Chain A
């Protein structure tokens, strides 16, 4: 579903990705972990070209990611993204947030979009918040609304960039539960997270990044129980002790 070859990216003189290769199969859940600044977000954002790759190729569902314009917008419509900071549209109700893209991008009728939006809000457990403005919701509810908003486009892939890092600890679980449910339903997912429990339970594969490179990748139990590189071992020792 996603195929990345030789992806390199610079911010000014600073190279943040060094020839990254990554494949994500249809229905696969790949969790990306690694220390701060290792390039996880940048990799994730290159997949829907919120950041432009400088070198390398990215294919989504067999199609090279277009450079710009309507073709790029069409690709993004098929790739859902969930941000650390939710980024719900503050001037629209939760329901309108979910309806906006289907009506404007897909040309779905308002009635149909509203029906589908309510169904999705039900699915993420916040149906009763539909007519509120985002600012009135808790962080966990806002992030679940953001997931519903992305799902409303019926994406082929979902990208999550640290979806629970901005949440109070008691709200992390409700968001991870929604994500686990999606994975169980067969959604193809790329998840950047520091939640190792989620990675172990839900991931099909864990990818460990450091210094802009994929240092190690593997099936979660094998990776967490016996990482094969020193860098991954050091990282796990650090994150698992607190």
Chain B
């Protein structure tokens, strides 16, 4: 354990970056997922097509390719943003496609009868989504979205490849000095596992709470 203890500040700094990246890109992914879902279940054919195209595109591209493209490609066309910010946006856009897909299955399970009843009362499409369909759909997708959160946490480690110093990159740097890969990367792995475990606990709780309310 001593290589970790000796470099605790570096690890801590890396973990903070990972947590920050995870939280911000997950929040962004939820917003993207909601917007894409609204487009895909809505009445406007063009928006439906865009939404579906979006999901299929991002589900069929590797995240690493997107990160590399954004980090090295955007400055080429004159768009300059910080490494961390660029990474957050890319991960949010990418994971948003997965959230949209999870939400859509939840929405489809609810939408027919409940959405019709809401619209028959005079609620607009947006109101029926917001007050009737989504609150119920979210309950059915807590577990899948929890899994996406965990996958997203793991996926943030790819930013090490484009120069962001997250937990993985910090471990890598420490290893260059200490050359003890097993304790160093096991330690980093345990930290990721801890985040995943907390996420699993929270979704389990959330699901039980919402299930009782039905």
Q: Chain A: residues with CB nearer than 8 A to chain B?
A: 48, 50, 68-70, 73-81, 83, 85, 87-91, 100-101, 104-105, 133, 135, 146, 149-150, 153
Contacts and interface: CB of A to CB of B under 8 A. Distances in A.
Give chain B's interface residue range (CB within 8 Å of chain A): 20 to 34
B136 interface: yes
A101 B127 CA distance: 10
Contacts, number: 70
A89 B214 contact: no
Interface in B22-41: none
A133 B136 CA distance: 13
Given A50-B116, A83-B113, A100-B131, A91 B121 contact: no
B120 interface: yes
A37 to B, nearest CB: 19
Q: What are the nearest 6 A-B pairs in CB distance?
A: A77-B122, A87-B117, A101-B121, A81-B120, A87-B113, A105-B122
Contact of A85 (B43, B113, B119, B139): B113
A48 B120 contact: yes
A105 B121 contact: yes
Contacts of B214: 90-91, 133, 135
Which among A48, A79, A90 has the greatest number of chain B C-beta atoms within 10 A?
Answer: A90
Given A89-B132, A100-B131, A76 B116 contact: no
Nearest to A149: B121
Contacts of A88: 117
A190 B120 CA distance: 15
Which among A50, A81, A83, A87 has the greatest number of chain B C-beta atoms within 10 A?
Answer: A87
A150 B116 contact: no
B83 interface: no
B127 A104 contact: yes
B122 A73 contact: yes
B122 A74 contact: yes
Nearest to A75: B122
Interface in B99-119: 113-114, 116-119
Nearest to A74: B122
Contacts of A68: 43
